[in-house]
């Protein structure tokens, strides 16, 4: 997974991932009306609107970006129809040769963790056959329950050449309530998590020199990012918090290594709801996907320019 992701980042000069987190309020009225006319104002209608909205965005930006990150909660809220829309979105993105990072933040143990891993990263046996569930290339994980919750995913990723991104220092304002707390040895909890990510990924390093075991580190905490970057030199970092959450291109720089690699920056509503912003309002709701394309181009320019100014990182 990681080698493909890095190859695409280099080819496109685009260290970004588009978060497909489709709140219904983001979806233009004309798409909702069409879906509701066919399926009613039901979970099925909402799921159809989400799917059509996603497809429009993917078609508009797939030649510019290496990866997408659908957040499963935005689909789960609509029950089984929503999960079907999630599966269709994943499959469609894969058909466009995009790396798909399933933002699922699972963190259970034992057979439950193994079942999640099979459902999202690997095949599940049914009788004499093996079948895939959601078919993502990588997933996000919460390590709070320890190795028992993470290892089943890493083991499955190793077998199927897929990846995981483990929460280390997240971008939300209250992350410090746990993650910044000091341990008896003076380290913070996020430093401990970063060390474990490096340890867990030591035998999952690809030809690129980076591991299939990566981390999630928020752009809103650049000083902490600089610290964990040193603790995880071989781990790719998924960086939320850029744009809508207030982080700038300069804020994300500490997540990169000196080679200009090592991080991929997420933007969700800043891209998929771009047409609602004043800067892109000229496109209108009917051309929402074109607005998303323009926002992607602007994001790539912003981040690559910041990297160039920093001398590669």
With beta carbons less than 8 A apart as the criterion, state whether 275 and 26 touch: no
Reduced to 3 states, what is the DSSP secondary structure of residue 104? strand
Question: Mean pLDDT throughout 87-111?
Answer: 97
pLDDT at 313 over 80: no
Among 10, 34, 96, 105, the active-site one is 105
Classify residue 164 by its DSSP letter. Answer: E
Instruction: Verify whether residue 105 is a known catalytic residue.
Output: yes
Please tell me the predicted confidence (pLDDT) of residue 158: 94
Return mean pLDDT, the chain.
Answer: 96
Query: How far apart, in Å, are the Cα atoms of 142 and each of 22, 56, 87, 215, 281?
Result: 22, 31, 22, 10, 37
Within 10 Å of residue 250's Cβ, how many Cβ atoms?
14
Give long-range contacts, CB 8 A cutoff, 24+ apart: 283-292. 285/28, 285/29, 285/30, 286/28, 286/30, 288/28, 288/53, 288/56, 288/57, 289/56, 289/57, 289/59, 289/60, 289/61, 290/60, 292/18, 292/57, 292/60, 292/61
Please state the domain extents for the chain.
2-307
**Pairing mode, strands 99-106 and 123-126:** unpaired
What lies within 8 Å, CB to CB, of 56 at 6+ separation is 31, 288, 289
Placement of tokens 């929402």 in the chain: 288
With beta carbons less than 8 A apart as the criterion, state whether 16 and 292 touch: no
Both structure tokens of 232: 């995880």
What would the 3-class secondary structure string for 32-48 be?
A: HHHHHHHHCCCHHHHHH
Helices (H) and strands (E) in the chain, counts: 13, 10
Question: Mean pLDDT throughout 231-259?
Answer: 92
Please tell me the predicted confidence (pLDDT) of residue 46: 98
With beta carbons less than 8 A apart as the criterion, state whether 74 and 23 touch: yes
Kindly report, residue by residue over 204-234, the tens digit of the pLDDT: 999 999 999 999 999 999 999 999 999 999 9
Kindly report, residue by residue over 128-164, the tens digit of the pLDDT: 999 999 999 999 999 999 999 999 999 999 999 999 9
Domain 2-307 fold: TIM Barrel (3.20.20)
What lies within 8 Å, CB to CB, of 119 at 6+ separation is 133, 134
């Amino acid at each position: 997974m990681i080698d493909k992701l890095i190859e695409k980042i280099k080819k496109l000069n685009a260290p970004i991932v588009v978060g497909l987190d489709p709140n219904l309020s983001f979806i233009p009225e004309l798409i909702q009306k069409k879906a509701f006319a066919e399926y009613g104002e039901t979970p099925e209608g909402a799921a159809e609107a989400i799917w059509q909205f996603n497809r429009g965005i993917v078609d508009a930006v797939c030649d510019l970006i290496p990866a997408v990150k659908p957040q499963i909660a935005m689909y789960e809220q609509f029950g089984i129809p929503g999960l079907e829309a999630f599966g269709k979105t994943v499959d469609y993105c894969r058909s466009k040769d995009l790396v798909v990072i399933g933002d699922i933040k699972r963190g259970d143990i034992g057979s439950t963790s193994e079942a999640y891993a099979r459902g999202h990263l690997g095949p599940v046996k049914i009788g004499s056959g093996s079948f895939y569930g959601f078919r993502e290339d990588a997933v996000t994980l919460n390590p709070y329950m320890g190795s028992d919750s993470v290892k089943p995913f890493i083991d499955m990723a190793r077998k199927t050449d897929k990846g995981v991104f483990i929460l280390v220092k997240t971008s939300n304002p209250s992350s410090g309530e746990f993650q910044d707390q000091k341990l008896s040895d003076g380290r913070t909890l996020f430093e401990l998590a970063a060390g474990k990510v490096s340890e867990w990924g030591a035998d999952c390093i690809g030809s690129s020199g980076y591991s299939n075991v990566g981390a999630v580190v928020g752009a809103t905490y650049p000083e902490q990012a600089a610290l964990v970057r040193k603790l995880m030199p071989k781990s790719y970092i998924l960086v939320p918090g850029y744009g809508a959450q207030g982080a700038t291109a300069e804020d994300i720089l500490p997540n990169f290594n000196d080679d200009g690699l090592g991080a991929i920056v997420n933007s969700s509503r800043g891209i998929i709801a771009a047409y609602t912003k004043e800067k892109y309002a000229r496109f209108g709701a009917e051309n929402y996907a074109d607005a998303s394309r323009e926002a992607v181009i602007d994001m790539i320019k912003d981040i690559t320019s910041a990297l160039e100014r920093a001398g590669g990182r």
